[in-house]
């Protein structure tokens, strides 16, 4: 399922985190997008997608 965004951007970046299981990639993503970090999270296998828009002035 795709998401439609009707915004104009000067720059658009996609970042891919790749590493072994259990090295907190999901927590890094959660911290950056939702300002949450859980030390007791379980290892995930698969993919996780999320977005964050930043305005740089």
Cβ-in-10-Å burial (0-12, 13-18, 19+) of 13 comes to exposed
**pLDDT tens digit string along 10-19?**
888 888 888 8
pLDDT at 53 over 80: yes
What are the backbone angles phi and psi of residue 40, rounded to the nearest 5°? Answer: -95, 15
Average pLDDT on 16-26 reads 81
pLDDT at 3 over 60: no
Percent above pLDDT 90 for the chain: 0
What are the backbone angles phi and psi of residue 33, rounded to the nearest 5°? Answer: -90, -35
Average pLDDT on 5-10 reads 71
Distances (CA, A) of 37 to 3, 25, 55: 25, 11, 23
**pLDDT band at 29; cut points 50, 70, 90:** confident
């Amino acid at each position: 399922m795709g998401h439609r965004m009707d915004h104009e951007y000067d720059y658009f970046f996609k970042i891919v985190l790749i590493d072994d299981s259990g090295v907190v990639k999901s927590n890094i993503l959660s911290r950056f997008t939702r300002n949450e970090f859980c030390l007791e999270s379980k290892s995930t296998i698969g993919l996780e997608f999320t977005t964050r828009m930043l305005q740089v002035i």
